[in-house]
Structure 1
Amino acid sequence: MSRVHVVAAVIRRADGQVLLAQRSASQHQGGLWEFPGGKVEAGEAVEAALARELREELGIEVSASRPLITVSHDYPDKQVLLEVREVGAFTGEPHGAEGQPLAWVAPRDLTSYEFPQANRPIVAAARLPDQYLITPDDQDPGQLLRGIRQAVANGIGLIQLRAPDGYDPKYRDIAVDAVGLCAGKAQLMLKGPLEWLGDFPAAGWHLTAAQLRKYAAKGRPFPTSRWLAASCHNAEELALAEQMGVDFVTLSPVQATQTHPEATPLGWEQVQGLIAGFNQPVFVLGGVGPQQREQAWQAGAQGVAGIRAFWPHVE
């Protein structure tokens, strides 16, 4: 069975809302919602296919797009390769040129819509930002909380409260305050023993590689309504993350770092190869900052993660 090559678009307008289209009842997976797009013809470039499909389906012209995520998915009756691009600028007013219903949806509300199974990673990618801040470990609690407050004010939408010294009670106290600072403004990811999960229902959980190895076979520790992430460094850990059903991962180290000088960097070529075999959003980490965001996108990543490059300067 040959794999059907499809291009899809996460079309985002100025207020951040994303455009969805509903599949007709006669189509494969009929009645479900999807991100607009269609088949890539033989010999056709992906960007050209996207422009053609959106012109035909929605009556718009794409002005700017970039890679978002690539997903391979096997249905019982068909195999698809979905190349997804984020469309940040277009001309024209989208309308259902083929009679299909359309909806503009806030990213946080995407989970209320029913999509084909292959779209689940795309929904995650559409909801996630392109930067992931990890808090530094040389701050006292007051400095940490001031930094988080400033980061949220600066528009950082995804923050990991790092637990560098194991899981001590002080971390829990800081986590309570951090949850409050992020409420309604940014997604906070916590680390720690899974026994703590019930104490922080609003927070997502970021697993260490050791936790991934320990728990992957048991599957997700909580429902898909809560973010689950993991730290990965190689193909084996990425496979475990997929087995566990995580929503996204960090992949590191891309380049040499001062914090982990002993770790062998993966390099951009290997990073690209690892991401190509993985079906969830990936934040690259290690020797990267906001200025590497474009390079990360071209390698197939969701974006960049880091500590120093993203931590705000707070007096």
Structure 2
Amino acid sequence: MARLIHVAAAVIRDRSGRILIARRPDDKHQGGLWEFPGGKVEAGEPVADALARELKEELGIQVTSARPLIRIPHHYPDKSVLLDVWEVDDFKGEAHGAEGQPVCWVMPDVLDDYAFPAANTPILAAARLPERLLITGATASCGEYEERLLAALAQGIDWVMLRAKNLNDEQYAHLYHQLQVICTPRNVRLGVNTSVKQANSLEAEHLHLTSARLLALTDRTEFKGRWLSASCHSLEQMEWAQAKGVDFITLSPVLATSTHPETPALGWAAFAERVAECTLPVYALGGLGEADLASARQYGAQGIAAISAWW
């Protein structure tokens, strides 16, 4: 049986929203790269305790509030590594490189400017993704899209996926630019659910692929924007998304939905099993609302994606 190496890491935020990163010593494996602080979990040790111990030793801080963010499994012939990442949003003390390592506080949007080990890529995504992902529903007019979008933003939504299956490419492009006028000055990300070709034409920052478009994707570089996500409904699709370098996925349906009553719901237990073997941030989708957010996080989700909850 392959041995398990359990590692705890932390995305530490200060009150201004900055994230703490540390630089690996030059003489160590992947030296000179930046990383999220943490260390190995001892046998039988609770992860929260291990994280608190490591952060006290490395940074001189006492963790007072933390929660799971993402678990990333890696399997090798002779061992398995589980990277257990927590989000620390409150602590006592002044963080510093207690072991001599350089540390710095950076805003989430500039994390891409720093070189990290490849294994940290999903953490970089999870650290920047929100808990709530709004998917737009159908409306009678473009004016109604604007009204509903503004109402959703008033509820705290800051990432929107424009899904408008009833529009042709020209109409979709017009609506996208119309909603960008609302989103851009408010620092709200507006993603698109369309073809790779149209997403590139729109110079969209985020493209969400249907499962069919995911399976047709040849390479991640086909999309020129920063964020690529995909809809998944099976383990095979999840594996394809990971292999193609997608940044995050939605997994559905978690609960029964009125729009697709013929589709069997996964349920939280099956959802958790699939997420446990996924190396990407996963949004729970299907029959969910604001009240389900805590459950989604408990079962390993980045958060929830929904239409009717906020639209």
TM-score over 0.5 for the alignment?
yes
Structure 1 residue 12 displacement after superposition: 1.1
Which of 210, 213, 217 pairs up with 1:211? Answer: 213
In structure 1, C-alpha distance between the alignment counterparts of 2:278 and 2:223, rounded to whole Å: 22
Tell me the residue number matched to 1:299.
299
Q: Which AA in structure 1 matches 2:10? A: A
Report the equivalent of 2:163. 162
Partner of 1:249: 249
1:193 maps onto 2:191 in alignment:
no
Distance in 2 (alpha carbons) for counterparts of 1:75 and 1:5: 14
Q: Is the 8 A contact 2:14 2:89 kept in 1?
A: yes
Per the TM alignment, residue 40 of structure 1 is displaced from its structure 2 partner at its CA by 0.6
Say which is worse superposed, 84-93 or 165-174, in terms of deviation. 165-174
Describe the superposition over 1:257-292 as per-residue Cα deviations: whole angstroms up to 9, x where unpaired.
112211110000000011111101111011111221
Q: Is the 8 A contact 1:281 1:302 kept in 2?
A: yes
267-276 vs 169-178, which deviates more? 169-178
Partner Cα distance (2:205, 2:28) in 1: 38
Separation (CA, whole Å) in 2 of partners of 1:274 and 1:79:
17
CA distance in 1, matches of 2:49, 2:117: 24
1:233 aligned residue = 233
Deviation string 1:222-247 (CA, Å, 9 cap, x unpaired) is 35x61000011110110111121110
Distance 1:272 1:64 in 2: 24
Q: Residue 9 of structure 1 aligns with which residue? A: 10
Give the drift of 1:153. 4.5
Q: CA deviation at 1:150?
A: 3.5
Amino acid at match of 1:120: T
Letter in 2 for 1:201: E
Task: Give the superposition deviation at 1:148.
Answer: 1.9
Q: What displacement does 1:139 show? A: 4.1
Which consecutive residues of structure 2, in runs of 5 or more, have no partner in the other structure?
none
Q: Determine the C-alpha separation between the residues in 1 that align with 2:219 and 2:59.
A: 43
CA distance in 2, matches of 1:102, 1:303: 29
What is the TM-score of this pair, normalised by structure 1?
0.92
Secondary structure, aligned partner of 1:147: helix
Q: CA RMSD in A?
A: 2.0
Query: Deviation string for 1:295-315 (max 9, x for gaps)?
Result: 11111110011011122xxxx
- Which AA in structure 1 matches 2:196? L
Aligned length: 309
Matched residue SS, 2:246: coil
* 1:9/1:35 contact within 8 Å kept: yes
Percent of aligned positions with the same letter in both sequences? 48
Identify unmatched segments of 5+ residues in structure 1.
none
Which SS does the other structure have where 1:199 is aligned? helix
Shift of 1:180: 2.6
| Alignment correspondent of 2:138 | 137
